[in-house]
Amino acid sequence: MGIRTSPQSARISFFSRIALLYSQILLLVVIPGVLVFHYAWAHGRSYGLFVLTYFPESSFFRPFPCAQASVVRVEANKKWYLNSQRIEPDDLPEALRAQIGGRTSCIVFFDAKFDLPYAEAIHAIDLIEESPGRVVLLTPETKRVHIP
């Protein structure tokens, strides 16, 4: 007869193989996950869009340093307006700087029509951010509120 092995040692050998396989699979999943997370969110490269919405009750809007709020409106037919006057997109940051002057924390309301392409809205927000003003998004709810 051959060498007899106990059924318990065969069971331990089976479970150790399963544990080794599980740890290898886990390692293959965790390492790429950590690398993707690190490259996607590390180093502060991207912060997304920083756009405020207007709430009259908010203490953020109480100290209003500008005499009049500026409104940038963009329509889908590529017509841009600054305070109801037609303006070219390239001239917008300079016009806002001239209007705001040396003051900080002035708000610039951004009004986009519903059919405006997303890329055009992002471009407008980027141009407004080149000025010293803070971008505040006008929503249908805030359009009904009186803004100083």
User: Mind listing the pLDDT tens digit for each residue in 60-92?
Assistant: 555 556 767 788 999 888 899 998 899 999 999
pTM of the model: 0.58
Q: Determine which of 23-37, 67-81, 111-125, 134-148 has the lowest per-residue pLDDT on average.
A: 134-148
Q: How many residues does the chain have?
A: 148
Exposed / middle / buried, residue 97 (Cβ in 10 Å: 0-12, 13-18, 19+): middle
